[in-house]
Amino acid sequence: MNAFTILTTVLQLIPAIIAAIKAIEEAMPGEGKGEMKLRAIREIIEASYDKAAAIWPAVEKTIGILVGLFNTAGTFQKGK
């Protein structure tokens, strides 16, 4: 998979990634569970997309960026 294909795929997945992040955060709120939440998203993507391994590094970085943005914006309340 070339870089442009990965980029366009990840950009198309952003709404679904955001929905997954929010759903998992709602189901498992609180700090210290980030690795478990990230693993859940990865397993969901792998279960539904046969080329998940090719896009995972970009998806993982995108999740980190989005979670950082949500934390900065106060979307996720730490300590709850």
Task: Specify the long-range contacts of residues 74-79, CB closer than 8 Å, at least 24 apart.
Answer: 76/25, 76/29, 78/31, 79/30, 79/31
The model's pTM: 0.87
pLDDT tens figures, 35-45: 999 999 999 99
Q: Inform me whether the pLDDT recorded for 79 exceeds 70.
A: no
Q: What does the pLDDT read at residue 29?
A: 86
The closest of 59, 65, 30 to 43, measured between CA atoms, is 59
DSSP state of 79: T
Average pLDDT score over residue span 71-79: 79
Question: Any idea where the domains of the chain sit in the sequence?
Answer: 34-72
Average pLDDT score over residue span 57-64: 96
Q: How far apart are CA 78 and CA 42, in angstroms?
A: 23
Q: Inform me whether the pLDDT recorded for 78 exceeds 70.
A: no
